[in-house]
Structure 1
């Protein structure tokens, strides 16, 4: 049953990526929505689950929160290191000049496509864990499995949307974006099937969710949303962000 539901997640992921691709002429709205979806997934889904599964304190701080902060810092360091590495291999003079001005933020993203691929790979890992969580839930019981299935299938639309957006935002071509999207769509099916072979410890799952949540929050708050408002600081962009958060809240509420 879990694998069958994962096939629904596969289709929803592809649909999310297709949606992101079709609205390229409204890029600021796409990014605004993606930022809201990512913020909602982190604050309303990933972090609460991580706290529940790995809430043991380490020197007065819950383990999940420590890993959450660690994920944020790792994402920041990876982006900075990749940016420095790219610059050391030579950059377009016009782009270098732009980095000193107001338009540098967008150009910096275009010059570091590895960041987009790394972020998309993290999304694929998250989708794999979604599939594992789905299989584990059905092992517990049909009611738990149905609740998790609803959450996974619904928010895999957001995963597909974000995977395609993240990959293309950092200057990767359409072929790579589609490749990462397909990988993200296949991941929950593989994860669900793998639960026939082993059971993932709850604490390890919670630790992963905390770390991934921190990395995802960095991308949303420090990269996606600033880029969304760079050329189009419109109220419609803010509205898309709020809609993204509200959608995840609705999914979490229904699943709960």
Structure 2
């Protein structure tokens, strides 16, 4: 028995040696809160169903996490143009970032990240410290594929913003909400990494439920035959996360103003869209 245990330990040490590499494929989806009303009364349920289905489809994306023991890159697999949904003469554009051109680099050892992203063709390089997640271990387990995973949770306060528009006039509402994050990690792949900004657990994170967003691993390849290059992005205007958030808020307001001026509602429709974590 002692010989078998020693063999397992030696194999594990070999698998996760200094040259250890791997990649994990993740799929994402998000629940959408969408409400469309008209002046005359009941909600336009048919339009609402069609738009909600299309919006949900736009948030179904596939990402690849390339990793070694201390570094990783996380990138969307297919570049998509800014999602637009048009139903009944109404067009909604989901305001976001560069999508398929984004690269998120994490350095777990140095506890920092670099995120290359774009807004309206302008490239930014966000450099900041990784968030120190205060994970709470629950002891609960489940299997994901061939891996035994353990559950960890955390909560955070967040300001949720919703916008509605009636006859070209925009109304913005903000409220403070608590968002719960549930992560499932496997110690069988003992690296403190995961999809997106998530990290800090004693094993690779294979699944995350972050509010209304779900990220699920569908494939893992360890030590592939072709060497994986994990490069830190270097091009773009260097900003902190706080500075970028300010730029993003201004961009969103500008887009809403343009939409309002272009629309000058003639049919009396009003709508509100909430997309939050």
Q: TM-score, normalised by structure 1?
A: 0.29
Larger helix proportion of the pair: 1
Larger strand proportion of the pair: 2
Q: TM-score, normalised by structure 2?
A: 0.27
Structure having the higher Rg: 2
